[in-house]
Chain A
Amino acid sequence: MIELKGIAAAAGISIGIAHKVGKEELAVSRKNITEAEIPLEIQLFEEALIKTRREIIELQKRIGLEMGKDEAQIFDAHLLVLEDRMLIEEVISRLKQDKLNVAFIFQEVLKKYVSIFEKIEDEYLKERISDINDVGKRVLRNLLGKEKTGLSNLTEKVVVVAHDLSPSDTAAMHKNRVAGFVTDAGGKTSHTAIMAKSLEIPAVVGVENATVVINTGDTLIVDGTLGIIIVNPDQKTLDSYHVEEEKLKGATERFFSVKDLPAVTLDDIKVEINANIEFPDEVPAVKLHGGEGIGLYRTEFFYMNRKDSPTEDEHYRAYKYVAEEMNPYPVIVRTLDLGGDKFSSQFQIPHEMQPFLGWRAIRFCLARPEIFKLQLRAILRASAHGNLKLMYPMISGIDEFRQANKLLDEAKQELRTKNMPFDEDIQVGAMIEVPSAAMTADILAQEADFFSIGSNDLIQYSLAVDRANEKVAYLYEPSHPAILRLIKNVIDSAHKADINVGMCGEMAGEPSFALILLGLGLDEFSMPPQVIPELKYLIRSITLDQAKGIAEGALKLSTGKEVAEYAQDKLREILK
């Protein structure tokens, strides 16, 4: 029995059999061949190409059915690379010339192309490198006669163990066959963590050496709440976790029983519990979990994975649908937040040394008013159909907020001339996620209609820590005293100016932190839909005075660790 520690990424407990995937290094040895063996090697190569082609087409068909045509189009590019004449001809001519085994030569030729493409400064070509690697690996696997270990052919329910999981790995996976996730890399907000949370599958990430210690076939306990993995547990541990698993199921039922009741404290103070969404088709999940509104509607997806630009009507239709579905509850649309880790292929955003400090979000929008105004007009038009609000991401000071509002006024004027209806009193908020905005919240509060604290970025900028870097991810502490003080300042400044403050980062959906936030006076909590029932249950179990006491206690502590432990203790007391 071995216990491994990692970062708790998606809560819950699951017990299952380990299945290691991805990042397998295909060991290719270099072998001399004789003149007579050349035709045989060429035949091997051709067979591998044909087999790979079949695999890609099959995968494309399945993805097309499961996830739609757009996702399946990625594989057109893969086929183009696979059938590339230059590549094939070069492999065959070098095979004849160097008299080495075809697998080795193929790998060498592939490396050559990748290194050429890596030198060209071009986002599009950078994307193609991953296509080339992906196809190359498939061909090599077939050349070496290895079975593929991809996530697509899981047949029984397993715990997926990997160094890291890319979006394409997870896209190829049958979701009902995964009981848990364990990865070497990543932090609380890595792709794996976000996906596991939305699928409600327990996950522990940033487990150093997980892929070294764990073997396929090991029995694993994944404790996604505490961030612990137990490899091949003894019977006693297994039994106690089985009990824990059952208890957890009971708790879930308890939480679900209050999901459709309002989020009021025992002393009758009402707060808003809203959901974060990215796609309109998430609205049913929001309603199912008892969400009262949308606290963060991300809009970047319009620009991802496509070569052309979305039209104003395309934006409008999506916003209108969400506004109508949620009416009379509020929907807060966040304007375009591209850049950082969210890239789009159609705008030539240059490669940056520090993308999170670079040309992103509102900075990009103010520099490209034609793109920004197109979105603003669409939001305004949709505001005629429901309770829509809008907010600007990455505001660093009042100047940016004013500039954005000036463009908003222009967009309104354009609609008025066209006699297009919109909500003249639409509320406009500022996201508070840059420390300078948090420090000057009193100034911003004079002109903003509301605030929404983007805690993920606020923490990363304030603590100067890249949350995706596993070497420093431990420093990413929502409970850090600096963060609590910043949040307190934002809430106090907002309330002095008589405006509401919400939070749409991960922190708002963490029960122990939510206690502190409630005590600090947060008015609105926005989170993934799945967490809503638990948060409602929590808020309905406490008085505002109790929460204030907890917040005051937390503010007196000097380290993030102390605050986190203190909050956990308080949470246990309340949920007892």
Chain B
Amino acid sequence: MALIKKKLIVKNKQGLHARPAALFVQIANKFDSRITVSRGEEEVNGKSIMGILMLGAEKGSSISIEADGADAQVAIEELTKIITSKEDL
């Protein structure tokens, strides 16, 4: 079991919105680990599209993701790719 936490800046020009948000949730759901995303005080379930959208994380905002479980390491790596990708997803 591992608990990994990572701070990131949203690089995608759409922010964590629209397609990137949907992709984030789809990938998060592939893992067994509990995934939490927070921005400032707000903390939401990373496997929930409603949660992610409610964060309203635009390009340039700073967020942290936390994964707790056996596959936490891979989960964080994959999710980081989405958040820091500058390409259109």
Contact = CB atoms under 8 A, between A and B. Distances in A.
A468 to B, nearest CB: 27
Contacts of B45: 85-86, 89
B49 A81 contact: yes
Contacts of A128: 53
Interface in B8-52: 14, 17-19, 22, 25-26, 29, 44-45, 47-51
Interface in A76-91: 76-77, 80-81, 83-87, 89
A117 interface: yes
A122 interface: yes
B60 interface: no
Contact of B56 (A77, A86, A120): A120
A566 B32 CA distance: 74
Contact of B50 (A113, A122, A307, A308): A113
B44 to A, nearest CB: 7
Contact of B48 (A87, A122, A132, A307): A87
A77 B53 contact: no
B53 A125 contact: yes
B88 interface: yes
Nearest to B52: A86
Contact of B49 (A80, A308, A345): A80
A250 to B, nearest CB: 53
Interface residues of A, number: 22
Interface in A129-144: 132
A347 interface: no
Nearest to A88: B48
Contacts of B2: none
B70 interface: no
Interface string A295-306: 000000000000
B25 A122 contact: no
Contacts of B17: 122, 124
B54 interface: yes
Interface in A100-150: 113, 116-117, 120, 122, 124-125, 128, 132
Interface residues of B, number: 19
Given A86-B44, A116-B54, A124 B49 contact: no
Query: Which one of B14, B19, B48 has the greatest number of beta carbons of chain A within 10 Å?
Result: B48
Contacts of A132: 50
A87 B47 CA distance: 11
B79 to A, nearest CB: 15
Given A77-B22, A124-B17, A307-B18, A87 B50 contact: yes
A354 to B, nearest CB: 26
Contacts of B51: 84, 86
A509 to B, nearest CB: 38
B56 A122 contact: yes
A314 to B, nearest CB: 16
A124 B15 CA distance: 12
B50 A84 contact: yes
A345 B17 CA distance: 12
Given A84-B51, A122-B56, 20 more contacts: A80-B22, A80-B25, A80-B26, A81-B50, A84-B49, A85-B47, A86-B45, A86-B48, A86-B51, A89-B45, A116-B54, A117-B54, A120-B54, A122-B17, A124-B17, A125-B53, A128-B53, A132-B50, A307-B14, A307-B19
30 contacts: A76-B22, A77-B22, A80-B22, A80-B25, A80-B26, A80-B49, A81-B50, A83-B29, A84-B48, A84-B49, A84-B50, A84-B51, A85-B47, A85-B48, A86-B44, A86-B45, A86-B47, A87-B48, A87-B50, A113-B50, A117-B53, A120-B54, A122-B17, A124-B18, A125-B53, A128-B53, A132-B50, A307-B14, A307-B19, A345-B18
